[in-house]
Amino acid sequence: MPDVKLLEFFPSPSQQPFVIEHVNEEFTSVCPKTGHPDFGTITVRFQPGATCVELKSLKLYFQSFRNEGIFYEAVTNRIRDDLAAAMKPIWLQVITDWKGRGGIRSRITATSGDVPADWRR
């Protein structure tokens, strides 16, 4: 069951603005409609406020979705909401890319806060 308490944080090492991106290509949850597993890649990008998410705790948090029945859109919004509430980033973007089902592959993007100027390129 997704468990936000698995997440740990450490103080940001700089007051200068910077951006962190973590990409997990090994995410799996379960389709609540069919009971079949879903497989996806989760990308988390953020400009930290006071804290950054610790990498191993992020892995365990992602693993806690393994046997959860949950739709693509809900996974994406839940991760965005959990991380935004716990980490209070200046900007946060969660992108989920899902392998094809019935010949259709999907990508969901959820954001909190404004995209930093130097990320836009």
Q: Which residues bind a second copy (CB under 8 A)?
A: 12-14, 16-26, 28, 36-37, 39, 52, 55-56, 58-59, 63, 66-67, 71, 73-74, 76-77, 80-81, 93, 99-112, 114-115, 117-121
Please give the radius of gyration of the chain, using alpha carbons only, rounded to the nearest integer: 15
Which is the catalytic residue, given 31, 81, 82, 97? Answer: 31
Residue whose CB is less far from a second copy, 5 or 14: 14
Nearer to a second copy, 50 or 67 (CB): 67
Question: What is the rounded distance in angstroms from the CA atom of residue 72 to the CA atom of residue 106?
Answer: 8
87: exposed, middle or buried (Cβ count in 10 Å: 0-12, 13-18, 19+) = buried
52 catalytic, yes or no?
no
Q: Please, which residues have CB within 8 angstroms of residue 56's CB and are 6 or more apart in sequence?
A: none
Q: Looking at the annotation, which residues are catalytic? A: 31, 38
